[in-house]
């Protein structure tokens, strides 16, 4: 979404934020995998207070950082039982409400998954659609990479995501 320019001369006040999240794969083979707003039925999920959707969590952190509203932990922390097992899509929707209440709108979000599995390629369009829907139609782009065997993601021990968000002040 492109922000409006009210008088043809002044530009809107843009703000950027970066968010990162990482979780280890669960030892519980029954733990469901949720990633980028989608359920991945043939994958083992990650350990987390919520559903562990690292993509959603990284986006929330990027949006909170851009708006100056803290981070995932200060807004939906493990000390808040109402967020136990909550979905990433619900956290994204609640984050959108918080940044909108603070007077901001999303210009766009970009997020990259870092890990060996699951492979996003075949479901990328569905994942982007789910993320866009959770953010009420905001533009979201999704990419993925491995780390060529380096670090905990490369060793197959977990997943990480990094997101950047561009928001603007509503007039």
Residue-level pLDDT at 57: 97
pLDDT at 83 (0 to 100): 77
> pLDDT of 101-118, one tens digit each?
999 999 999 999 999 999
144-169 burial code (b ≥16 CB/10 A, e <16): beeeeeeebbeeeebbbbbbbbbbbe
Report field, pTM of the whole predicted structure over 0.75:
yes
Residue 23 pLDDT > 90, yes or no? Answer: yes
What CATH class does 14-169 carry? alpha beta
The set of residues, in sequence order, having a beta carbon less than 8 Å from that of 114 and lying 6+ positions away, is 144, 145, 146, 147, 153, 159, 160, 161, 162
Range 157-162 average pLDDT: 97
């Amino acid at each position: 979404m492109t922000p409006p320019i009210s008088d043809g001369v002044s530009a809107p006040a843009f703000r950027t934020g970066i968010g990162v999240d990482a979780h280890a794969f669960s030892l519980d083979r029954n733990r469901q995998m949720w990633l980028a707003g989608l359920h991945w039925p043939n994958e083992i999920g990650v350990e987390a207070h919520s559903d562990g959707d690292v993509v959603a969590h990284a986006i929330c952190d990027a949006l909170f950082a851009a708006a100056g509203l803290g981070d995932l932990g200060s807004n939906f922390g493990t000390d808040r039982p109402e967020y136990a097992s909550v979905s990433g899509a619900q956290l994204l929707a609640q984050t959108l409400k918080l940044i909108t209440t603070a007077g901001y709108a999303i210009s766009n979000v970009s997020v990259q998954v870092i890990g060996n599995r699951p492979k996003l390629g075949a479901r990328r369009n569905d994942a982007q659609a789910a993320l866009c829907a959770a953010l009420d139609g905001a533009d979201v782009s999704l990419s993925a990479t491995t780390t060529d065997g380096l670090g905990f993601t490369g060793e197959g021990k977990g997943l990480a995501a990094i997101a950047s968000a561009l928001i603007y002040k509503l007039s």
